[in-house]
Structure 1
Amino acid sequence: MTRQDASFLPAFEHATPRNAGQGVVYSDAALLLVNKPAGLLSVPGRGEDKQDCLARRVQAEYPDALIVHRLDMATSGLLVLARGKAMQRRLSTQFANRQVDKRYVAVVNGLPPLASGEIDLPLAADWPNRPRQKVDRLAGKPSRTRYQVLSHDPFANTTRLALWPDTGRTHQLRVHLLAIGHPIVGDGLYAEAGGAACGADARLLLHAESLAFAHPETARPMAFCCPAPF
């Protein structure tokens, strides 16, 4: 039985969930698409206070659901889970081979000088300040983010961006935007480095808006869009 809480359109046409805040937005025998809320871990963390997470909530209804990729706790948006280990391997291969198209939306402080651009800066763990990451031109892993300005609010001095991470490093979008002087609004983790305005919003204004990939069982092109709640 296939459940579709979203209108699903094939051939990379966008499918927008009608109930964007209601959790599972698409499911079939091979996979699940879930809209993760901000403030919820993707998988369990260390300690009893970090056991509540999206994976366990989904597994309460779908016991065979397995995580394929993750979103930061502070980030909301679309997340794929596989139904069983075989589907997990196939979907994980697509992510590892960069065959999945991912688009994020963010609101940042200031206005980038270009309407679109690319941020190519290597990233590494900031070990004394974990879980923070940092730009490390000597030991960092190659990391690239493309961006496009969608709109600018001159009164708040904020800009809405579309973001395409070509690599999937931890906190990549947050650190890359901070590095070019336009930190994401509401980013409390990097607020000290980015200035007081970083923590100006109640949540991190970063949302995984769309995903496109091949169905792991049929190879059929699939695409989903879940608009940002901000």
Structure 2
Amino acid sequence: MEARHDLQTINQDYPKPISAPPPPISKDIEVRRAMEASSKSSLFNLTRDDILYEDEWLMAVNKPKGIYCEAVLASAPRALLVAHSSNEYHLANRLDRDTSGVMLITKSHKVAAKLVKAFTEHKIRKSYIALSIGPSPNWSKITIRSGHGRSKHGAWRVYAALDVGRVLPGGSVVRDMETTFELVSVNGEKLEPSKEESMVVVEGEPEFGCNGNEDVVVVRAFPRSGRTHQIRLHCQYLGIPIRGDVKYHGVYVWRGRSLEGHELHAESLSLDHPVTGDPIVIRAPLPCWAAGDGSYNG
């Protein structure tokens, strides 16, 4: 019986990922970036200028690029504007090491639980802005619906929407992933918002044309699910990988200079306050690269 079970496991019809795996060079670059971020994070101190919003229950901060979330959390008590005696500080949301922008820190277990539940139930609206390099898109607004998952010890990958719920090697399952993108600018030229929206349900390889150009494309992203590396993966699928995002095939050298990390910024969070119920919108100042002219700003 054991031999038959092993044979069944080997012959298991697992879903195949749609997006490409990380390029070989990404491993060395990611290790170097991680070491640099660890060094910077060990010296990091949150300042009051970094605080975007604060009351007696929570605070929102503008996390810098290249700093780990844990370093921001550890330094939060020293930067408080509103006096608080508790030591129950928690991260309500997390951002990737090189993603900057709005991060929420709660001041009690109870508030933390409420916000985690709100994020899980997709009751908090998030917007991001990203700078990508690739051919200019032929859409102005598009929604991508796909699967999301990774094999055991593998990288996160895009899967077909029909694969949602199927088991992957290692026992995890493909989960749903949906993001709406709006085109903001191409090569520094601002574009007017469009009411027309395309929908792409991922079934196989992307069909977006490639003209070979290396345009500077700025997009605004609205993730409707909260999967790991969601926006980065969907930008890769659209053929406009984020600049500096070597793991997902973004350029890591631009105009002769090496990039320190990917250019993705958590622009805003819209939510009902976990205690008062009042609607609040928290915005982080945009980084210089969001101007979309292709200039290098570290």
Per the TM superposition, whether the score is higher than 0.5 is yes
Q: CA RMSD in A?
A: 2.2
> Are positions 1:99 and 2:123 aligned together?
yes
Give unpaired runs (5+ residues) of structure 1: 1-19, 44-52
Counterpart pick for 2:235 among 177, 200, 217: 177
Question: What is the CA-CA distance between 1:199 and the residue it aligns to?
Answer: 4.9
Could you tell me which amino acid in structure 2 is paired with residue 159 of structure 1? V
Aligned partner of residue 121 in structure 1, secondary structure: strand
> For the residues of structure 2 that align with 1:126 and 1:209, how far apart are their CA atoms?
31
Query: Relative to 1, partners in 2 of residues 1:55 and 1:199: Cα closer, same or farther, differing over 3 Å?
Result: farther
Aligned length: 196
Per-residue Cα deviation, 1:177-196 (whole angstroms, up to 9, x for no partner): 10121100111322xxx26x
For the 8 Å contact 1:165–1:173, the answer to whether it is kept is yes
Distance 2:247 2:253 in 1: 9
Q: Return 5+ residue gaps in structure 2 as ranges.
A: 1-46, 81-86, 167-173, 189-212, 290-298
After the TM superposition, which segments of 4 or more aligned residues of structure 1 sit over 6 Å from their partners? none
Partner of 2:146: 121
In structure 2, the CA distance between the partners of 1:172 and 1:126, relative to structure 1 (3 Å rule), is farther
Q: What residue in structure 1 maps to residue 225 of structure 2?
A: 167
* Cα separation, 2, equivalents of 1:81 and 1:103: 18
Whichever residue aligns with residue 151 of structure 1, its letter is: S
Q: Report whether the alignment pairs 1:54 with 2:72.
A: yes
Partner of residue 112, structure 1: 137
Contact 1:212 1:223 in 2 (8 A): yes
Larger Rg: 2
Mapped to 2, the partners of 1:115 and 1:177 lie a distance apart of 14
Deviation of 1:60 after TM superposition, in Å, equals 4.5
1:184–1:198 contact (8 Å) kept in structure 2: no
Bigger mean CA offset, 155-164 vs 201-210: 155-164
For the Cα contact (< 8 Å) 2:73–2:89, is it kept in 1? yes
In the aligned structure 2, how far is the partner of 1:33 from the partner of 1:106? 21
Question: In the TM superposition, what is the alpha-carbon distance from 1:121 to its structure 2 partner?
Answer: 1.4
Q: Is the 8 A contact 1:187 1:199 kept in 2?
A: no
Corresponding residue for 2:285? 227
For residues 24 and 127 of structure 1, the distance between their equivalents in structure 2, rounded to whole angstroms, comes to: 38
Aligned-pair identity in percent equals 27
Check whether the contact 1:25–1:34 (CA below 8 A) recurs between aligned residues.
yes
Q: Indicate which of 185, 190, 195 corresponds to 1:151.
A: 185
Post-superposition Cα deviations, 1:118-172, rounded to whole Å, max 9, x if no partner, equal 111111125444xx31013334210000000011007961111010000000000
1:23: how far off? Answer: 2.2
CA contact (8 A) 2:89 2:105 kept: yes
* 1:61 CA drift (Å): 4.6
Structure having the larger proportion of residues in helix: 2
Paired residue for 1:136, among 159, 163, 183? 159
Tell me which amino acid in the other structure corresponds to 2:63: K
Output the CA distance in 2 between the equivalents of 1:70 and 1:156: 31
